Amino acid sequence: MQQVRKAIFPVGGLGTRFLPATKALPKEMLTVVDKPLIQYAVEEAADAGIEEFIFVTGRNKSAIEDHFDHSVELEATLAAKGKTQALDMVQQMMRNPGSVIYVRQQEPAGLGHAVWCARHLAQSEPVAVLLADDLILGTGCLGEMISAYNGGNMVAVMDVPQNETASYGIVTPGADDGRIVEVNGLVEKPSPKDAPSNIAVVGRYIIEPGVFTHLDRQEQGAGGEIQLTDSLARQIGEVPFSGLRFSGERFDCGSKIGFLQANIAFALQRDELGQHLKSWLTERVK
DSSP 239: B
Of 221 and 254, CB closest to ligand UTP: 254
Q: What single string gives the DSSP state of each residue in 94-113?
A: PPPTT-EEEEE-SS---HHH
Question: How many residues in total does the chain contain?
Answer: 286
Backbone torsion region of residue 151, taken as left when φ is above 0, otherwise alpha when ψ lies between -120 and 50, otherwise beta = left
Q: How many CB atoms lie within 10 A of CB 182?
A: 16
Nearer residue to ligand UTP within complex by CB, 256 or 278: 256
Beta carbon of residue 53, minimum distance to ligand UTP (angstroms, whole number): 14
- Rounded distance between C-alpha atoms, residue 245 and residue 283, angstroms: 36
Instruction: State the residues that interact with ligand UTP by CB under 6 A.
Output: 10-17, 27-28, 56, 105, 108-111, 113-114, 131-133, 254
**Chain residue whose CB lies nearest ligand UTP:** 13
Min CB(15)–ligand UTP separation in Å: 4
- Rounded to whole angstroms, how far apart are CA atoms 176 and 133? 27
* Residue 130 or 236 having the CB closest to ligand UTP: 130
Q: How far is the CB of 118 from ligand UTP (least distance, A)?
A: 10
Residue whose CB is less far from ligand UTP, 154 or 204? 204
CB of 246 to ligand UTP, least distance (A): 18
Query: Which residue, 114 or 195, has its beta carbon nearer to ligand UTP?
Result: 114
Smallest gap from residue 277 Cβ to ligand UTP (A): 27
Question: Cα Rg for the chain, rounded, in angstroms?
Answer: 19
